[in-house]
Structure 1
Amino acid sequence: MDPKKEKGQLQRSMKSRHLFMMSLGGVIGTGLFLGSGLTINQAGPGGAIAAYLFGGLVMYLVMVCLGELSVSMPVTGSFQTYATKYIGPGTGFTIGWMYWFSWATTIGLEFTAAGMLMKRWFPDVPIWLWCLVFIVLLFTLNVLSVKKFAEAEFWFAGIKVFTVIVFILIGGAAMFGFVGIKEDSAPLFTNFTNDGGLFPNGFSAIFMTMMTVVFAFQGAEVVGFAAGESEAPEKALPKAIRSIIFRVLIFYVLAIVVLAALIPWRKAGVVQSPFIAVFDSVGIPFAADIMNLVILTALLSVGNSGLYVCSRMLWSLSQNGMAPSVFGKLNSRGVPFNAVLFSLLFSLVSLLTSVVSAETVFVVLLSVNGLAGTISWMTIALSQYNFRRQFIKTGGDVKELKYKVPLFPLIPILCLVLCGISILFMAFDPAQRSSLVVGLGFMGTCYLYYFIRYGKSIKDKIILKEDHGEVTTPKSRV
């Protein structure tokens, strides 16, 4: 038997190409294919571009901080493990469970949304039946082996990336008149100057859409979880991080420029998908069906990654003594089967609450979902800041780090400030204010539960295993 399996450790079998495509495709999803139109409608063409540039900047800051931590300590628990070690077990417990809740809720939503998309082609088949098909598919991919999961995600991400590239090329050609569109003439940049110009709703509209845009970029941090199961994280991670920063910025910003140029901002928020509108305007046959398939792929990709992240986070919490020990057990393929199964079952329960108690439990889960990502990014930045300071304090030479944050400590501090600003603007938006209050309340409840349940018992015993970087505790008391 593999010695790592005997020790109950996950297997490093994910290849560099898997990590690369996962990092690239992880942030290209419904936030771009569906949410971009609403952002253009609310902030105008210039405001939408500015908001996505802001989101891209924050993502860059987060990813370089995560890069230093993940290359130095490539563990499956990712930022939950780093927070436990470099901020405190209470923070590790809170962020771990908040992040797990957020992804488990998201998985349930993705199943329903995917089933609704299938109604276009199979109107007589009930949505629940499609949900069941997708549940079986993603569960199978996640429990067979990490290789099967990674290979599926490789192709899911590839379809999304290819679609965005084709869209930018065709849309750009339509802008400059190389491809005919249904209107009399190519618009060039006339939609940037007509009907109120770049910022028709004022500069304040940019701030109101910032949190939505930041949410669209969230998912980039998933690559940190995959580091613990990657064959050569010290080589693959820096490459993946460099690619995700610049290529996603190019994909997002260029796509938004094309969308804003071809669709008047007043109409952008009322179409089902602005991508469908553009493909249809240039006469692409079956444009709606093509984008329906791509969006379906994006939803399944999110569900696939979400189930992976949920199971690994639950496994990490179990390893740290912060979740029942049963979730720390692996099957013969080195997969945390119990953690995958429980995460999937919870996602279905959260899905049922949207029908049974839409005004109570489900609203709470969505609020946690909305806030957990940004809090996680702040945790990554603070963990890197504390890690670097401790590394230097104990005599470490920064030159020895295989991947390091430039301009330290400016980068992590700026990341904390910008993420904090994003959260602060939620308080000024009546539509997001309740989510902020509920999300912060849930976070406070997690902290309170940790200190009542564990006190200092975990803090006094946690150690960092130098051989593979895992934070461990004595057997779970849960």
Structure 2
Amino acid sequence: MPDDVELREGTFYINRSAASSELSMPPAVLNERYDGPNTMPSLTPGPQNFIELLPLGPPPPSDSSQVISDTSGDSTGFKIGKTVTLSPFTVPADRTVRRSLKGIHLFMITINATLGTGLYWRGGQILELGGPLAVLLSFLLVGILSWAVMQCITEMLCIWPVPGALSVYVSKFVDEELGIAVGIAYWFTYSMSWSTIIATSAGEFAYWDSVKDNQSFHGLVIYLAIPFVLVCINAFSIEIYGFLEVLTGSLKIIFLAIIVVTLIAISVGAGPVSRSAQGSSNWAMPTAYDKEAAENWPIALLMSISVATFAYVGIEVIATCALEARWPRESTDGHVKSDTERPNGNLIGKTVKFSAIFISVLATAAYTLGGVLGTLDIARDDSKLPRLGWLETKQSTQNTTTNSSFVLIAAESKIPHLADIFNVFLVFTCLSCAGTNLYIASRTLFGLASRLEGGSKGKRGSFLRILAWFGKTNSRNVPLRAMILSAVAFGWVPFLQLIGGGHSSVNTYVDVLSEMASLAVLIVWACECLAFIRYYNCISRFRNELEDDEVAQVRRWSTNDWHDYPYRSHGQPVLAYLALAGCIFVLIIANGAALWKGWHLLPFLSAYLTIAVFLGLWVFLKLARGASWSWEDLSSYENVSETIQYLHEIRFSATQPTSTA
């Protein structure tokens, strides 16, 4: 047997030096089971190149990228036909990013995206709207829904951590145009949130009298200088950006811990003024609610669920930043250091899985704990608590400069400078969340645009040709074009507050835009659940064929010791159907509950304008691309295997390896 091939315990390996020199590509390790002398399964060896080991026979057509052929016998006398090809599915270097993010980087990015203003604002708003029991139930129920959605996303993400993953899953398993609409809606969410959070931070800066009425400071510093700094940070290489995310995420967790401990101390009587009586008053009537907003407490609870949903926007961002996650490192002997002992199994490993599985659990714990602690320290009928934007503002609320119940609690505790400290924490939270939202928006747009040139179906209108220009990266493999567009697309939103002079109608308009962005994520959640259902059903229907052909990483029910399915989510497919139903319930029922008491334009727009725009975009894409009005055909094994093959290919070809320099 030649030096460049070894048959070892039923596994083929191509020697790294020989493969690298002859194929002119980064070395790869092939590790897949070999079942016979003339039957070679397709292999999925590594993070950059899709390589196929074919059976004995004529070589592939001459248009294949690079070919090496050899026939030799091993020590047992077997004849081994060896043809190695580099897949023609390749991506130019200027349409790739680097896989450099470790698990800690991904975790902190999800922390920064999820633990934002919703943690500090929404609890007080829900308390005023539906009372303390609504705070507990709304955060808990939406947390369970987010966990169920993430179970579906995680299972697919561990197999295919590809650019624009959320869009790709819907495109390949549901409908291509629907997938594009999902990508655009998801980009809108984070591009809009980047701008509205900047506007929100201005309200927190206004807590200090020296800043409150200083329009020059608002315009030059908050709306111009701070966004410019965040844009510059996002322009750094992914290694530097990941480090900064770890730093800011760690500080955010420390700040949250300080707030929780302080709220507990205040509730048990620490400080000059004890707030324990307030909590007793709240929980003496746990279902008290705002009678101007709702006719009864169940309706107030539905409205509270809608409000709480905003806080969970961000739990799915791991699917966006996973394309830059570090793959298993390689040792000097050519083997892959995997976090599993099974060869070729779980290539993305715990790098993605930990954050994807547990971020929803951690967010639920943080929101529920923080919200409940708030109910113990401030009365539900405190006139300074924030109300829904379309309700008439109470006089004392007009005089307050913060919408955070935590800052209000700190101010009323009479502990010196505690409110200022809490407000610093909140401003930091706003700005770090804004920077992360810009990162997510840029990667979403990049993932949507990076494969448009030379797409397999050739159905590209003029809009998509323009969009393709934003799918390129710079010399540091940063999607700078996509990032700049994401930053400026809605950069005008904060400046509305200057034009309106802080008028309540302008602030309400900004709130509506923020609500629209959060509802777009609910639509994306629903589409991901549908994509998983169709994925699950097709691999279940053809499980025997997939097992017989040993198709890598999609054999969910394999009983073979060699199985390589990365992650099996719980309770499927029932959980996916329940998650889909939950998303639709919140979108249609809970978001519309504000209209049950009477007609109001702003809550109607907040609840249904996003849905109408999304459906209109989907219809427009169908008509513009001349596409058929049917789901992707997954009724035959040939179509299913082609879809899986396509996803495997883009997983291996879309990223650059981490530099070892």
Flag whether TM exceeds 0.5 (same fold). yes
Residues 391-441 of structure 1, C-alpha deviations (whole Å, 9 max, x = no match): 333424215421121110111111111111111222332352223332222
Instruction: Find 1:193's aligned residue among 265, 271, 283.
Output: 283
Supply the distance in 2 between the matched residues of 1:292 and 1:360 (Cα, whole angstroms).
22
TM superposition shift of 1:456:
3.1
Residues 360-413 of structure 1, C-alpha deviations (whole Å, 9 max, x = no match): 997985564242111011112112222222233342421542112111011111
Residues 66-116 of structure 1, C-alpha deviations (whole Å, 9 max, x = no match): 111111111131211111111111111111112212222222222233345
Instruction: Find 2:237's aligned residue among 138, 145, 152.
Output: 145
CA contact (8 A) 2:309 2:518 kept: no
Instruction: Find 1:211's aligned residue among 299, 306, 310.
Output: 306
Residues 220-250 of structure 1, C-alpha deviations (whole Å, 9 max, x = no match): 1111111110114421222113431332222
- Residue 151 of structure 2 aligns to which amino acid in structure 1? V
TM superposition shift of 1:359:
11
CA contact (8 A) 1:65 1:412 kept: yes
CA contact (8 A) 2:99 2:323 kept: yes
| Counterpart position of 2:582 | 418
Count of residues in Structure 1 that have an aligned counterpart in Structure 2: 469
- Residue 375 of structure 2 aligns to which amino acid in structure 1? A
TM superposition shift of 1:278:
2.8
The residue matched to 2:99 in structure 1 has which SS? Answer: coil
| Counterpart position of 1:266 | 381
More helix by share: 1
| Counterpart position of 2:592 | 427
The residue matched to 2:477 in structure 1 has which SS? Answer: coil
Supply the distance in 2 between the matched residues of 1:113 and 1:59 (Cα, whole angstroms).
24
Residues 188-210 of structure 1, C-alpha deviations (whole Å, 9 max, x = no match): 8513433x334445222110121
Instruction: Find 2:130's aligned residue among 43, 65, 90.
Output: 43
Alpha-carbon distance change, 101 to 24 in structure 1, aligned in 2, over 3 angstroms: closer
CA contact (8 A) 1:115 1:128 kept: no
Residue 518 (structure 2) pairs with residue 336 (structure 1): no
The residue matched to 2:476 in structure 1 has which SS? Answer: coil
CA contact (8 A) 1:405 1:411 kept: no
TM superposition shift of 1:151:
2.4
| Counterpart position of 1:476 | none
| Counterpart position of 2:21 | none
CA contact (8 A) 1:85 1:464 kept: no
Supply the distance in 1 between the matched residues of 2:508 and 2:621 (Cα, whole angstroms).
24
Instruction: Find 2:646's aligned residue among 455, 464, 468.
Output: 464
Structure 1: stretches of 5+ with no match in the other structure: 473-478
Residue 164 (structure 2) pairs with residue 77 (structure 1): yes
- Residue 584 of structure 2 aligns to which amino acid in structure 1? G
Instruction: Find 1:378's aligned residue among 518, 521, 526.
Output: 526
Supply the distance in 1 between the matched residues of 2:287 and 2:592 (Cα, whole angstroms).
26
Supply the distance in 1 between the matched residues of 2:94 and 2:271 (Cα, whole angstroms).
62
Alpha-carbon distance change, 334 to 81 in structure 1, aligned in 2, over 3 angstroms: same
CA contact (8 A) 2:219 2:495 kept: no
CA contact (8 A) 1:65 1:384 kept: yes
CA contact (8 A) 1:107 1:306 kept: yes
Alpha-carbon distance change, 365 to 260 in structure 1, aligned in 2, over 3 angstroms: closer
- Residue 438 of structure 1 aligns to which amino acid in structure 2? L
The residue matched to 1:266 in structure 2 has which SS? Answer: coil
Supply the distance in 2 between the matched residues of 1:276 and 1:364 (Cα, whole angstroms).
24
Residue 417 (structure 2) pairs with residue 246 (structure 1): no
Supply the distance in 2 between the matched residues of 1:174 and 1:276 (Cα, whole angstroms).
13
CA contact (8 A) 1:370 1:435 kept: no
**Larger RCO, structure (CA 8 Å, separation 6 or more):** 1
TM superposition shift of 1:447:
1.2
Alpha-carbon distance change, 364 to 470 in structure 1, aligned in 2, over 3 angstroms: farther
CA contact (8 A) 1:215 1:373 kept: no
- Residues 368-377 or 107-116, more deviating: 107-116
- Equivalences for 1:27-106 in 2 at 5 Å? 27-106=114-193
TM superposition shift of 1:265:
0.8
- Equivalences for 1:118-129 in 2 at 5 Å? 118-119=205-206, 120=208, 123=211, 124=214, 125-129=216-220
- Residues 433-442 or 35-44, more deviating: 433-442
| TM-score, scaled relative to structure 1 | 0.89
Identity fraction in percent: 21
| Counterpart position of 1:24 | 111
Supply the distance in 2 between the matched residues of 1:367 and 1:254 (Cα, whole angstroms).
24
Instruction: Find 2:426's aligned residue among 295, 311, 314.
Output: 295
| Counterpart position of 2:612 | 441
- Equivalences for 1:383-402 in 2 at 5 Å? 383-394=531-542, 395=546, 396-399=554-557, 400-402=564-566
CA contact (8 A) 2:271 2:415 kept: no
CA contact (8 A) 1:68 1:405 kept: yes
TM superposition shift of 1:300:
1.4
Q: CA RMSD in A?
A: 3.1
TM superposition shift of 1:260:
0.3
Residues 41-82 of structure 1, C-alpha deviations (whole Å, 9 max, x = no match): 101001111111111111111111111111111113121111
Instruction: Find 2:568's aligned residue among 384, 399, 404.
Output: 404
TM superposition shift of 1:468:
4.4
Supply the distance in 2 between the matched residues of 1:169 and 1:361 (Cα, whole angstroms).
35
Residues 109-160 of structure 1, C-alpha deviations (whole Å, 9 max, x = no match): 2223334544537534431211221122111111111223322222322222
TM superposition shift of 1:345:
1.6
CA contact (8 A) 1:100 1:314 kept: yes
Work out which of the two has the higher radius of gyration on C-alpha atoms and give 1 or 2.
Answer: 2
Residue 445 (structure 2) pairs with residue 314 (structure 1): yes
